[in-house]
Amino acid sequence: MSKIVVIGEILVEIMADSIGNGFNEAIAMTGPYPSGAPAIFIDQVARMGAECAIVSTVGDDDFGRLNIERLASDGVDISGIAVDQDRPTGSAFVRYRSDGSRDFLFNIRHSASGLLPESEAAQRVLVDATHLHVMGSSLSSPAFVMMNLKAARAVKQRGGTISFDPNLRKEILLSPGMAEAMKEFVALTDVFLPSGAELTLLTKAQNDLDAVAELLALGIKVIVHKMGAKGVQYYDANTSKFIAPYIVDEVDPTGAGDCFGGTFVALWYAGTDVTDALNVAAAAGAHAVTKRGPMEGAASYETLIEFMKSKERAV
Ligand code: ATP
Ligand code: MG
């Protein structure tokens, strides 16, 4: 049996209905929406029909149940989700500013998401993993770094594969041991999924092409550089290709990278032709931004094929 697994935070997101700054006055908000980058990623993997699981902790509350029910009904194995009796499920309040940037108010570190999911059920899920997706935003403490590293080493030793979305802020690299851990993640990675400036975040080289050469020399098999509405640049040892974006009206950009990544990883892992996989993933990213709510844009393979027929590509 094959299984794609991710370790990381499950959250709810609650979104302001109006554009503006912060949460300093009473405003109308909509939510809770299921969220958390690893949760969105794995939900999309399940929507593609692949066997998959998430290892995480939620609280014994409606925010946790809302997520567990969505993930389960979309086909994610939820046995590795621990329910903590003490801490609440993590949450993020978000409000868009007029320039398109976002104000966040997080409760993650001190929520259930800050607890290492070490249950026996979680261990069983990790032992069964044949592919691990490492999410940089989930490497939030030395304990989570170590749990991901141990799992990644074990998967590779069993002949499995690793994908890595750095999704990191530069400052995180300054915390003790982080730069070394990132080096090891890169060395273990088969599929690298950086977005924007993350392509050169973990390399000595500081321009794109030298960074690509450096990463491929370290053993990375494929590099998929996400560039938002500008599309995707793909690299492997033999080829480099540009994947044009689909033209859509962006409603909510949150979750695009994770829906893109979940689609690409599921198809790549299944042995799909890489150009086909990139095109469907580009559709998944574009589809995601047309829906309000971070996980609401996740879509089945059939929906994505219909979407691809109905949309124009940028040239
Ligand atoms: P996130 O903000 O979720 O972390 P990301 O930075 O990891 O996202 P993006 O580059 O924003 O990832 O999105 C991934 C892919 O989805 C893009 O490379 C593109 O193919 C598609 N995509 C994202 N936004 C748009 C858009 N506005 N229009 C068309 N396609 C888009
Ligand atoms: Mg990203």
Q: Is the distance from CB of 280 to CB of 263 less than 8 angstroms?
A: yes
pTM to 2 decimals?
Answer: 0.97
**Pocket flag, ligand 1, residue 245 (CB < 6 Å):** yes
Residue nearest (by alpha carbon) to ligand 1 atom 23: 228
Superfamily of domain 4-10+36-90+118-310: Ribokinase (3.40.1190.20)
Kindly report, residue by residue over 227-240, the tens digit of the pLDDT.
999 999 999 999 99
Predicted pLDDT at 174: 87
Predicted pLDDT at 48: 98
**Pocket flag, ligand 1, residue 257 (CB < 6 Å):** yes
Q: CA-CA-CA-CA torsion for 124, 63, 94, 70, nearest 10 degrees? A: 60
Residue 182 CA, ligand 2 centroid: distance in Å: 16
Predicted pLDDT at 140: 87
Residue with tokens 């492997």: 236
The tokens describing 211, both together, are: 């960074």
Q: Is the pLDDT of residue 29 over 90?
A: yes
Predicted pLDDT at 171: 82
In this prediction, residues 294-311 reach a mean pLDDT of 98
Closest ligand to Cα 255: 1
Q: In what helix (H) or strand (E) does residue 33 lie, and over which residues does it extend?
A: strand 29-35
Q: Is the distance from CB of 104 to CB of 91 less than 8 angstroms?
A: no
**Pocket flag, ligand 1, residue 225 (CB < 6 Å):** no
Kindly report, residue by residue over 239-294, the tens digit of the pLDDT.
999 999 999 999 999 999 999 999 999 999 999 999 999 999 999 999 999 999 99
Residue 198 CA, ligand 2 centroid: distance in Å: 9
Residue 261 CA, ligand 2 centroid: distance in Å: 9
Kindly report, residue by residue over 138-181, the tens digit of the pLDDT.
998 999 999 999 999 999 999 999 999 999 878 888 888 899 99
Domain boundaries, the chain: 4-10+36-90+118-310
Kindly report, residue by residue over 190-235, the tens digit of the pLDDT.
999 999 999 999 999 999 999 999 999 999 999 999 999 999 999 9
Continuous H helices in the chain: 37-47, 62-74, 120-128, 142-157, 178-188, 208-217, 256-269, 274-289, 301-310
Lowest-confidence range among 5-9, 101-105, 263-267? 101-105
Rounded to the nearest integer, the mean pLDDT of the chain is 96
Predicted pLDDT at 51: 98
Q: Is the pLDDT of residue 1 over 80?
A: no
Predicted pLDDT at 270: 97
Residue nearest (by alpha carbon) to ligand 1 atom 5: 257
Residue nearest (by alpha carbon) to ligand 1 atom 8: 257
**Pocket flag, ligand 1, residue 80 (CB < 6 Å):** no
Residue 228 CA, ligand 1 centroid: distance in Å: 3
Residue 16 CA, ligand 1 centroid: distance in Å: 22
